[in-house]
């Protein structure tokens, strides 16, 4: 007999069905026992006798039964299967469940997050998180579809790469074969995607895992996903138009309401003047299925850090505004760049720029950022060398995928849309990393702990 999914039971009145799932609840009314059975597609009411009495929350069962129309009075409008129930003929318990350490039927928002993450595989059973991860998958699919339809190719870039000063702190991975040397996990595929432009792919995208060892906040995780894009032979406005088209297509197909089209474009200076910040909320209707996007353009190329050093406003690969090239020598902080950010409902959800492809300008920027000639060769030589073999003009962007999903679903934290996030002190869900490793493992890597 074939399995029937619970949401399909409504089409099988008076038929015999085979169901699998988890016990949501058990209610005893004298001799009759009602069980709510849940699978990935929904919940249905089972009706039976004493054979159902021993069932407990979250037991996994197999049921054969007949689908029956309910009495008019017994219809439950809250369930898609609320007009039917299944009369149990045969029950088999496939796995018992212990009493649950956390409630999984409510929103879960009031439960200590460390406990939720310790039992994430149970936490994920709650309807809100089931919904979130299904939406996440759907939005990822729509992004892929939109880029593939526009002649982009998805290319996977390496996870083991080189530590380069891109802005955030790197996660390092010690090398066994070359003790004393380290890989870094990528903060973003930035340099690889630029190398892919040199390689002639012209239109690249990737749902790319990125890793940054930063302080954790509601909208920050060590690991996150970017919708990463790079394009050759384009102007800034062509990139903005294309990304805008993709974003509108993805979210409208998914049923969200985009409040302003085309997206307003405002300069960084204007944004600071008007909103005090380079991110702002333009929604007229703050419902959670309403999205208000805007572009921020004409960023300054540099910002001053606390130590009064120059730091790139975006990353060191962003092209200075051609009109401001002369400012680089005298007043670099006055120079604007070809950087742009995408803002949604008050959050920055993406950033990118037209890249420097002139090795001389690139070297000048690195020098202004305080890198010595040797350092430039050591850290970025590969990119500068690649640019000597016919580099197409190019630019791109990365969208914060987790953040976009969280905003669209009205979730306050990106942890609510990531299957296994780390908690606020950096401990992984369920598996409790970071953890100690054996002395043998350390010896193999040539590492001695300083206590």
The residues binding ligand ASP (CB under 6 A) are 188, 190, 315, 351-353, 396-398
Cβ-proximal residues to 141 (8 Å cutoff; 6+ apart), any chain = none
DSSP 322: G
Instruction: Evaluate whether 121 touches 398 at the Cβ level (below 8 Å).
Output: no
State how far Cα 438 lies from the chain centre. 33
- Of 64 and 159, the one with the shorter C-beta distance to ligand ASP is 159
Q: Minimum CB separation from ligand ASP for residue 351, in Å?
A: 5
Q: Minimum CB separation from ligand ASP for residue 338, in Å?
A: 10
Q: Minimum CB separation from ligand ASP for residue 42, in Å?
A: 39
- Of 108 and 352, the one with the shorter C-beta distance to ligand ASP is 352
- Of 108 and 186, the one with the shorter C-beta distance to ligand ASP is 186
- Of 332 and 351, the one with the shorter C-beta distance to ligand ASP is 351
Closest by Cα among 240, 174, 232, 191 to 208: 191
- Of 22 and 263, the one with the shorter C-beta distance to ligand ASP is 263
Instruction: Evaluate whether 62 touches 19 at the Cβ level (below 8 Å).
Output: yes
Q: Minimum CB separation from ligand ASP for residue 193, in Å?
A: 7
Question: What tokens were used for 314?
Answer: 């975006």
- Of 247 and 398, the one with the shorter C-beta distance to ligand ASP is 398
Q: Minimum CB separation from ligand ASP for residue 184, in Å?
A: 14
Signed CA dihedral, 51, 56, 57, 61: sign only: negative
Instruction: Evaluate whether 213 touches 166 at the Cβ level (below 8 Å).
Output: no
| Cα angle: 342, vertex 344, 345; to 5 degrees | 155
Q: Minimum CB separation from ligand ASP for residue 398, in Å?
A: 4
Number of C-alpha atoms within 13 angstroms, CB side, residue 387? 20
């Amino acid at each position: 007999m074939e399995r029937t999914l619970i949401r399909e039971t409504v089409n099988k009145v008076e038929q015999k069905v085979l169901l699998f799932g988890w016990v949501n609840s058990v209610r005893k009314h004298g001799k009759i026992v009602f069980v709510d059975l849940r699978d990935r597609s929904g919940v249905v009411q089972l009706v039976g006798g004493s054979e159902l009495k021993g069932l407990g929350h979250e037991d996994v069962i197999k049921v054969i039964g007949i689908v029956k129309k309910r009495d008019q009075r017994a219809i439950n409008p809250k369930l898609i299967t609320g007009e039917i129930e299944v009369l149990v003929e045969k029950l088999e318990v496939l796995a018992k469940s212990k009493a649950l350490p956390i409630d999984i039927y409510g929103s879960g928002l009031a439960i200590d997050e460390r406990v939720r993450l310790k039992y994430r595989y149970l936490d994920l059973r709650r309807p809100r998180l089931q919904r979130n991860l299904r939406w996440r998958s759907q939005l990822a699919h729509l992004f892929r579809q939109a880029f593939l339809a526009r002649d982009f190719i998805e290319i996977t870039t390496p996870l083991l790469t080189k530590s380069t000063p891109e802005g955030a702190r790197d996660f390092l991975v010690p090398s066994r074969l070359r003790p004393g040397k380290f890989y870094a996990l990528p903060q973003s595929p930035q340099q690889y995607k630029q190398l892919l432009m040199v390689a002639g792919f012209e239109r690249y995208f990737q749902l790319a895992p990125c890793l940054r060892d930063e302080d954790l906040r509601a909208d920050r995780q060590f690991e996150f996903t970017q919708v990463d894009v790079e394009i050759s032979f384009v102007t800034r406005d062509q990139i903005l138009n294309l990304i805008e088209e993709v974003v509108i297509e993805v979210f409208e197909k998914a049923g969200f309401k985009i409040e302003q089209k085309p997206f307003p474009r405002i300069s960084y200076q204007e944004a600071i003047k008007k909103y005090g910040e380079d991110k702002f909320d333009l929604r007229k209707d703050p419902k959670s299925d309403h999205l208000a996007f805007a572009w921020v353009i004409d960023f300054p190329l540099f910002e001053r850090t606390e130590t009064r050093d120059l730091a790139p406003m975006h990353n060191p690969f962003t092209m200075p505004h051609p009109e401001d090239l002369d400012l680089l020598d005298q007043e670099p902080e006055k120079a604007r760049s070809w950087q742009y950010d995408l803002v949604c409902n008050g959050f920055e959800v993406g950033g990118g720029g037209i890249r420097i492809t002139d090795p001389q300008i690139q070297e000048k920027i690195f020098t202004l950022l305080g890198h010595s000639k040797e350092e430039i060769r050591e850290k970025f030589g590969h990119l500068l060398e690649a640019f000597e073999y016919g580099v197409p003009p190019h630019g791109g962007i990365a969208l914060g995928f987790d953040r976009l999903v969280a905003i669209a679903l009205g979730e306050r934290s990106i942890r609510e849309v990531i299957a296994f996030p780390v908690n606020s002190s950096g401990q992984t869900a369920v598996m409790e990393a970071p953890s100690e490793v054996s002395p043998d493992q350390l010896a193999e890597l040539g590492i001695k702990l300083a206590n």
